Amino acid sequence: MSFDTPVPPYNASDPHARFLSASCLDLLLIELVPMAERIAEELSTPGDKMEEEELREATFYRLESLGYRVGQGLAERFSRDRPRFTDNLDVIKFLCKDLWTILFRKQVDNLKTNHRGVYVLTDNSFRPFTRMSMAFLWFPCGVIRGALANLGINATVQAETSDLPGATFQIKATQAKS
């Protein structure tokens, strides 16, 4: 749990600005996975015990969906006073610098791209992951996907970790069908 001071929103001069307590965000993220697992088990058919893989998939879907909606709201809220983004790389940079700082109090450590729609974000000290497991990456994946969708990029997001507490997020932008 973090005892840091609250983080001001992106535009602190906004009269409707709210502050976010880092410890409240930590507690929310800690409780999200058990809550999603409980809901998945409660919604399964009575008498049928969900298999471990089914429970894992249902939990993933619920967490990623919650994150997606949060990401959409964050992107809408914090990009509204900015000029329109001209290309996908500008959107990804906004995600890495501004939205990441709002959520996790630091920028992404490394951004790589092949300039063909694949972006790899690396955070070597991913705050929510310092005390948690792989399941806790599903919500941030949804946040990233939701923010990108709201900013005009359809993408798939995958997360992996090799050295705790680091996390790597791979974003694959998909072409919109015209």
pLDDT of 17? 57
- pLDDT-derived band at 92, boundaries 50, 70, 90: very high
Q: Which of 138, 167, 150 is nearest to 62 (CA)?
A: 138
Residue 9 in this model has a pLDDT that exceeds 50: no
What pLDDT sits at residue 178? Answer: 44
In order of 79, 94, 167, 170, the CA distances from 133 in angstroms are 31, 27, 11, 18
Q: Which domains does the chain have, with CATH numbers?
A: 22-173 (3.30.1380.20)
Q: Which helix (H) or strand (E) holds 69?
A: helix 52-79
Residue with more model confidence, 176 or 108: 108
